[in-house]
Structure 1
Amino acid sequence: MTSSEPMGLRERKKARTRAAIQRHAVRLFLEQGYAATTVEQIAAAADISPSTFFRYFPTKEETVLYDSVDQLLIEAGRRQPKDLSLLGAVRAALHEVHGNLSPEAWAGERRRQALVFSEPELRAKAMEGHLRSTYLMADWVAARTGRSASDFEVHTWAGAVVGVILSTAQLAATDLDADYVGLLDRAFTHLENGLPL
């Protein structure tokens, strides 16, 4: 790699390597079981050395917990027209990201989510990721509304949206053929209507 190589190309190569490691890890975890799969096996499947593995993921569990879709959703949310409501912009961003992911990539994301919910060790650690998602969402809402990310209403709104996404993902993880985006649309409508029961 030369120093004149554009940073965008380097970042894309890193993203492809990270995605390949994660794809092989999830496949092995599903085939062999999470506890029975080693970093060495994941590295061998991805055709990299264990030291290269650790440059991308600090631990085995991070290969499953790493969520590349979160950042894609935030970036897509930033591109949404200002005349959309906040929830409308979240919905539009979700549809944009889903539409841009290949069917294979989306299926891989669904398998990753199912694995997180099925393994108690991963499920517990995933809570930290959900907190990060709430802060990411609050930052986005703050930028869109001109309010502070620490504003009570901004933070609780972000938490409600992340909670709806999380609870829908948990339900959808039991049926990988479920229309996940359709379920999220239904959940967002429920949230928009004030979560009536």
Structure 2
Amino acid sequence: MVDRAPGLRERRRARTLQTIREHAMRLFLERGYDATTVSEVAEAAEVSSMTVFRYFPTKEDLVLADEYDPLILERITERPSDEPLLLRLGNGLITAYEQLTAQEQEVLLRRVRLCLSTPALRARLWDSQYTTQQAITEALCGASDDPEHRFRVWVSAGVCLSAVSAALVRWAEEDARPSMGDLMRQVLTIVAEESSG
């Protein structure tokens, strides 16, 4: 009986989070990000503004907060450690993306579209990418005291994440018609060709 309570609590928390996020995205896309208030999101989700802020500390988090970093790190670190670094990072990112459900991909598409049309979100997107770059560097370097290796991983992670961002933009601009996985492979191939050329 004790074991069931945390599971139920977690399910309720996940349901509330999902409901808030869905209403926020709907309102942002219908009315515009700047024209929609957190109070309006709370009202649509039938929760208090305090509850919204408990789950999403800032308005930008309603769009940008996600749980993808752990999946990305897992897919990158499970790749063979002797694989060339750009290939290891690129293949890990592709595998992580391809594991998203169709619904998660649709949410990602709406997020990218919203970010492209909203200056405040574009600025926060850079911050989010920086955090992911730090997490990848820590995952691959750990307690390594080799500053050159750490810098190499940092640069490679930044290059791969920027390439994936370019693929996301094209994917959104072309209304998700090209496969995101194919676009990611294309941009990462460009990076590999340019770095070896």
TM-score, structure 2 normalization: 0.81
* Aligned residues: CA RMSD: 3.0
The runs of 5 or more residues in structure 1 that have no matched partner are none
Q: 1:190 is matched with which residue?
A: 190
Separation of aligned partners in 1, 2:9 and 2:83:
34
- Runs of 4+ aligned structure 1 residues displaced above 6 Å come to none
- Shift in Å at residue 84 of structure 1? 4.2
Is 1:47 matched with 2:49?
Answer: no
Q: 2:116 is matched with which residue?
A: 117
User: Is this contact kept in 1: 2:90–2:160, CA < 8 A?
Assistant: no
Separation of aligned partners in 1, 2:114 and 2:158:
23
User: Is this contact kept in 2: 1:169–1:180, CA < 8 A?
Assistant: yes
Q: 1:181 is matched with which residue?
A: 181
Q: 2:141 is matched with which residue?
A: 142
- SS of match in other structure, 1:59: coil
Cα distance 1:89–1:15, how it changes in 2: closer, same or farther (>3 A)? farther
TM-score, structure 1 normalization: 0.81
1:23-102 alignment, distance < 5 Å:
23-82=22-81, 84-102=83-101
Aligned length, in residue pairs: 196
User: Is this contact kept in 1: 2:112–2:172, CA < 8 A?
Assistant: yes
Cα distance 1:38–1:149, how it changes in 2: closer, same or farther (>3 A)? farther
Cα distance 1:105–1:38, how it changes in 2: closer, same or farther (>3 A)? same
1:110-165 CA deviation, whole Å, 9 max, x = no partner? 1111111211121122221121121112123324x996698221211111111112
User: Is this contact kept in 1: 2:39–2:49, CA < 8 A?
Assistant: yes
Cα distance 1:19–1:83, how it changes in 2: closer, same or farther (>3 A)? farther
Separation of aligned partners in 2, 1:133 and 1:42:
27
**More displaced, 85-94 or 49-58?**
85-94
Cα distance 1:111–1:156, how it changes in 2: closer, same or farther (>3 A)? same
Separation of aligned partners in 1, 2:190 and 2:85:
15
The runs of 5 or more residues in structure 2 that have no matched partner are none
Cα distance 1:154–1:99, how it changes in 2: closer, same or farther (>3 A)? closer
